Amino acid sequence: MIRKLSMVLVLGGIVGYAAVSLAGDDKAKEKPKTIVETAVAAGQFKTLVKAIEAAELVDTLNGPGPFTVFAPTDEAFAKLPAGALDGLLKDKAKLKAVLTYHVVSGKLMAADVVKLKDAKTVNGQLVTIDTKDGVKVNDARVVKTDIEASNGVIHVIDTVLMPK
């Protein structure tokens, strides 16, 4: 009886260990999310993701990068003047210009960003970086930093950046 109980406990322990090991392997095999996948998962970038899709930039922002994205929240898009977002969604060239104005080549973590006075965006124009009272990119306040993705990093901003 004791021998059977010991055997059951040993086998149970082996099965339990194997189950834990396999569960751990599943986590290890999870593929890190790209910038777009990370934005979708966050839930506060629905408008940004819709715009990225409309501008046909999903493949680019799912690409190898690395990219730094100053990502406006849904609330930031809501602050645009009435009709501005609809107008952008209908003008793919202008939409691409606006979206690529939010992207910098390379992975710039918050510690890197605060050392800059400006940064060249993917659309070729500069954004200014101001660290006097928090961190601002042009007139947008950075509200969350260093959301890492497999192909870069996202910094959350409270205002949509508009190129000149």
> What distance in Å separates the CA atoms of residue 53 and residue 56, rounded to the nearest whole number?
5
Whether residue 163 lies inside any domain: the answer is: no
Do 48 and 93 have their domain in common? yes
pTM: 0.81
Do 150 and 130 have their domain in common? yes
Residue 135 contacts residue 113 (beta carbons within 8 Å): yes
Do 81 and 12 have their domain in common? no
3-state helix, strand, coil in the chain (%, to 5): 45, 20, 35
Do 73 and 44 have their domain in common? yes
Whether residue 162 lies inside any domain: the answer is: no
Domain that holds residue 109: 35-157
Q: What is the pLDDT of residues 47-105, one digit of tens each?
A: 999 999 999 999 999 999 999 999 999 999 999 999 999 999 999 999 999 999 999 99
Secondary structure letter of residue 39 according to DSSP:
H
Q: Is 32 helix (H, G, I), strand (E, B) or coil?
A: coil
Alpha carbons within 13 angstroms on the beta-carbon side of residue 149 total 29
Q: What is the pLDDT of residues 144-155, one digit of tens each?
A: 999 999 999 999
